[in-house]
Structures are given as C-alpha cells and as structure tokens.
Amino acid sequence: MLSQTQLSVSPVFQAVERIGEHDHCQAGGAIGLSGALAAALAQATANATRSQQPTGAQDAAAEFMQQTMKRIRQEFLRLADADAEAILEFVALEERGELLTGYALLCEGPRAMADLAVEAAQAMQSFRAHVCERSRDDLEFALTLMAGVARAAFQLLDSNLRIWPLPELLTGYEPHIARLKDALEALQPRPRIRTL
C-alpha cells in the first residue's frame, strides 16, 4: 500500500488538490514537485537537441544534460515525498524528546532542494551554448522555473531558522545560507526572450 504522504505517485490533479485543500502549508512538497517539472522541461530541450542528430560536442552536451536532468527530476520527487514524511518523523522525534534532531530534519530537506536546484540551474546555463534553436526559449523557461525553485527552497530553510533560532541549528545551517545566497546571485535566467 502506498504511503498517504507520497506526492510523487499521485496524479497531478490529486497532488495539487491535496496541497491546496490542507489547512497547513506543504511548501517543501510544492517546491519539490516544481523542481521535478522544471528539470523535466530542461530534459525535453536536451531530447529535442538530440533529435536534430547533432554531432560532437553538441551531442555529448545534450546526452549529459538528458542524464543530469533525469537524475535531478527523480531526486526532486524523492525529496518531495521525504518532506511529506518529515512531518511525521518530526512528531515521533518530538514525542521522544529529540526536538533538535527533528528541527534539523526539517531544515535538511529545503537545504537539499536548494542545492539540487542550484546544480540544475547551473547545468541549464551551461547547456545554453549547445541547445538546438527550436528549444532555446524552452530552456530559458526551465531555467527561470528552476531559479525560482532554488530561491523558494532557500527561503524555506531561512524561514525554519527564523522559527527555530537555536544556536545549534544556526551554527550548522548559517554556512549553507551564506553559500546558497552566493550561488543564487550567480544564477542568470534571462529577463526577456526577445533580447537574447
């Protein structure tokens, strides 16, 4: 039997309805599903490029992009499910008096999503030089979506640290906040399509 918390195996309508109809926000799940969709769109640009039968560096770059986005897409789905499970794990840890471990668990998911989204966006930026003309704009759409996913995951982590400003958490996660802040500033989704 499937877990009630698995978003990744729900039809899109059910996953969206489940998030929207809850009386508590499921930001991590929404961010994870968004990351999977952005990675899927980027993977499609690599598929389109390979369908043009490129040779040499372009084909190698497109194949690498296909495999990278497939891995990232799958990892985002895993993280979306893990985020939903994390709430149940947090409650169990809280009942055992292991609050700090529970707080760290709820910080680790968004940290992992932010890192994954940054990795994906950087790969998309590198693929710009190789994407076929007919999918060039789609790559920009995917990059814009993924940059938003990275920022949302960063904000979720920052929010958790605001809610639980424990010295142990801040010591462990402030270096990630600083690193991610710099990485986010390096992401360059195009602000316009017609001025490329």
User: Domain ranges in the chain?
Assistant: 27-185
* Helix (H), strand (E) counts: the chain: 6, 0
> For residue range 88-141, what is the model confidence (pLDDT) as tens digits?
888 888 889 888 888 999 999 999 999 999 999 999 999 999 999 999 999 999
The CATH fold of domain 27-185: Four Helix Bundle (Hemerythrin (Met), subunit A) (1.20.120)
Residue 1 has pLDDT above 50, yes or no: no
**What secondary structure does DSSP assign to 12-47, as a single string?**
HHHHHHHHHH-SS--HHHHHHHHHHHHHHHHHHHHH
* H or E stretch at 181: helix 167-185
pTM of the entire predicted model? 0.92
Are 41 and 142 within 8 A, CB to CB?
yes
Q: To the nearest whole percent, how much of the chain has pLDDT over 70?
A: 97
The answer to whether the beta carbons of residues 157 and 114 sit under 8 Å apart is yes
Q: Which amino acid is at 20?
A: G
Burial class (CB in 10 A: 0-12, 13-18, 19+), 185: exposed
Residue 196 has pLDDT above 70, yes or no: no
Over 90: is that where the pLDDT of 8 sits? no
Taking residues 7-36, report their average pLDDT.
Answer: 86
